[in-house]
């Protein structure tokens, strides 16, 4: 009888000391939010066309701004090509 009570007590204590997945996710999320706020670090999960798997991509604020700038330059260049082509 004492062994059963002792085993139940040990089981109860170990169950209380372990972290649930939700608790671990919240702790990770808060660390990620801190990184986002201080460095502009942000991770996004995107689904690749033709695949079930999503791909995680992490970038800094500077990297996102550079990509945005390059995309805008490419669109502006394409618009000027179209304008030049239609005028001929």
Per-residue confidence (pLDDT) for residue 52, from 0 to 100: 86
Per the confidence metrics, is the pTM higher than 0.75? no
Tens digits of per-residue pLDDT, 9-61? 655 656 555 555 555 555 666 766 766 667 788 888 988 888 888 989 899 99
72 pLDDT more than 90:
yes
Please return the burial class of 1, using the count of CB atoms within 10 Å of its CB with bins 0-12, 13-18 and 19+.
Answer: exposed
């Amino acid at each position: 009888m004492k062994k059963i009570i002792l085993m139940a007590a040990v089981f109860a204590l170990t169950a209380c000391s372990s972290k649930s997945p939700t608790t671990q996710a919240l702790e990770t999320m808060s660390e990620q939010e801190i990184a986002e706020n201080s460095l502009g670090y942000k991770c996004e999960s995107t689904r690749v066309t033709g695949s079930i798997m999503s791909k995680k991509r992490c970038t800094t604020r500077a990297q996102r701004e550079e990509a945005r700038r390059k995309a805008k330059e490419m669109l502006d260049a394409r618009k000027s090509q179209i304008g030049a082509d239609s005028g001929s």
